[in-house]
Structure 1
């Protein structure tokens, strides 16, 4: 089972239950909607000529759109390069991009942007039912490339250690895009509901955890340390989700 397959594995049983909630935008993506968007966008990228192993710049902040963008590229057989700079034929952004930093031919944007094609246009036809069996999948820092087997094996190891359950509500207060993405991956492969916080502060995490009846918080070390001792919340230092990848 590849990395993206592992992340989507709970979808048949979770269906329209929430997978990812974005506090900033209010968007809630269900498990079934996530699979639908990823597989259709992957088909759209293939129609645009994306080749196996080809790099696609992904400049999308941590939120509900990030895992859709990254896993669409991976499911299409491409390599999602996290960042706003570089050279590639295609780029996926939240809104704008800097042409001087990102030298690309096509830009797909989740929000309206001059010269960009709406990301939604990639969803206009059938789904790509089968992704790659293996191969490169993501470049978290633009240089090191992680493949499907490595990412899937690491997810299984971390999931076994952290034990996230299908009924958990996870506050994702990770401080970086890749760390935040790994929290989403871990929560979804377990069938949990992950709520993405955009203010990884002690007060912000406590308020959000109470509002969402959260059972688990993943946060930067300083915040996680001060949250320890809460009788309701399990607290995880964000470094635990990427340490086995050496990041």
Structure 2
């Protein structure tokens, strides 16, 4: 089973239950919606000219849109580059980008953006039922490439160390997009619900954990240390979700 297949595997069982909730925007993405949009957006990217191995700049904040965009690119056979600058076949952004900082053929955005087409246009070209079995899928800097098989194997290994169950509610208070993406991957593989908080304070974390009935919180070391001691909340240092990749 490949990287994106692992992340989508719980969709038939979880259905319309929430996969990712974004505290900042209020968006809630269900398991069914995630899987459906990934395979459709992948078809849209291919229809717009994306070929195996082509790079796509992905400049999105942590939230429901980030895993959707990254896995759509990977499922289409492309390589997602987590960067706001550089050269690539295409770019996926939130609501702005700097034309002087990128060299791309097309830009797709989740919100109305001058010079960009809507990401929703990609969802009308059919579906890619089977993604690539191997090959590069993700890079942070355009130099070190993470392979589909490497990301899948690491996700399985993570699942044995940072055990998350299908009934867990995971509060993501991580400070960096790739760590946040890996946490969402891990939680969705287990069928859990991820609540993305955007660099909250100690008080904010405690309030959100109570309001959302969180059972796990993943946060930067200093914040995680202060959250220890809650008997119903398992606290994880965010570095643990990428340590096995040497990051």
* Class of the TM-score when normalised by the shorter of the 2 chains: over 0.9
Query: Do the aligned partners of 1:200 and 1:223 also contact (CA within 8 Å) in 2?
Result: no
Partner in structure 2 of residue 109 of structure 1: 109
Give the superposition deviation at 1:126: 1.5
Q: Secondary structure at the match of 1:57?
A: strand
Structure 2: gaps spanning 5 or more residues: none
The Cα RMSD (Å) is 0.7
Partner in structure 1 of residue 92 of structure 2: 92
1:30-179 equivalences in 2 (<5 Å): 30-179=30-179
Q: Secondary structure at the match of 2:126?
A: coil
Query: Do the aligned partners of 2:47 and 2:125 also contact (CA within 8 Å) in 1?
Result: no
Partner in structure 1 of residue 5 of structure 2: 5
Work out the CA distance in 1 between the residues paired with 2:169 and 2:101: 38
Partner in structure 2 of residue 182 of structure 1: 182
Deviation >6 Å, runs of 4+: none
TM-score w.r.t. structure 1 length?
Answer: 0.99
TM-superposition CA deviations, 1:218-244 (whole Å, max 9, x none): 000000011111111000000000000
Give the superposition deviation at 1:143: 2.2
Structure 1: gaps spanning 5 or more residues: none
Give the superposition deviation at 1:91: 0.3
TM-superposition CA deviations, 1:115-168 (whole Å, max 9, x none): 100000000131110100111000023321100111011111111111100000
Work out the CA distance in 2 between the residues paired with 1:157 and 1:51: 30
Give aligned pairs, total: 247
Query: Do the aligned partners of 2:12 and 2:32 also contact (CA within 8 Å) in 1?
Result: yes
Work out the CA distance in 2 between the residues paired with 1:143 and 1:85: 14
Is the counterpart of residue 19 in structure 1 residue 19 in structure 2? yes
Query: Do the aligned partners of 1:200 and 1:220 also contact (CA within 8 Å) in 2?
Result: no
